[in-house]
Amino acid sequence: MNRKRLAVGLWIVWAVVVWNVVFDRVLVEAGREYVRTARAAAAGHGLYARIDDTMRPAVPRAVALATAAAGVIVVVGLVVFRRAGRPTSAGPLRKT
């Protein structure tokens, strides 16, 4: 396997890892928000808390944010690798 293919593969792996981290982080924050709401409701300071009211809107938000973050990484990586393979217009260096 040549070095460029390995680099592109690692860049894509990085994007997948970022997707998973962002997705997980958004869902964890939604879970924490539900716990805060449920505690307030249990203490009599709020309405009855349903987990579905917090988590259902969090899933599409998590997918959108994670996909956007990973998409930016993939696009930047592919642009960088494409430009890295092009020869420069200056030509080879000469000793003077």
Residue 92 lies in a domain: no
The pLDDT-based confidence of 28 (bands split at 50, 70, 90) is very high
Residue 93 lies in a domain: no
Residue 14 lies in a domain: yes
Residue 1 lies in a domain: no
The one-letter code for the residue type at 12 is I
pLDDT (average), residues 5-23: 94
Domain that holds residue 12: 7-78
Q: Give pLDDT, residue 95.
A: 62
User: Cα torsion at 4, 7, 13, 19 (round to 10°)?
Assistant: -100
Residue 91 lies in a domain: no
Q: Does pLDDT of 9 surpass 80?
A: yes
Domain count of the fold of the chain: 1
Residue in the structure block whose two tokens are 């430009």:
83
Q: 54-90 pLDDT, tens per residue? A: 999 999 999 999 999 999 999 999 898 888 777 666 6
Please provide the average confidence, as pLDDT, over all residues in the chain.
89
Retrieve residue 25's tokens.
């982080």
Task: Compute and round to an integer the Cα radius of gyration of the chain.
Answer: 23
Distance CA 7, CA 1 (A): 10
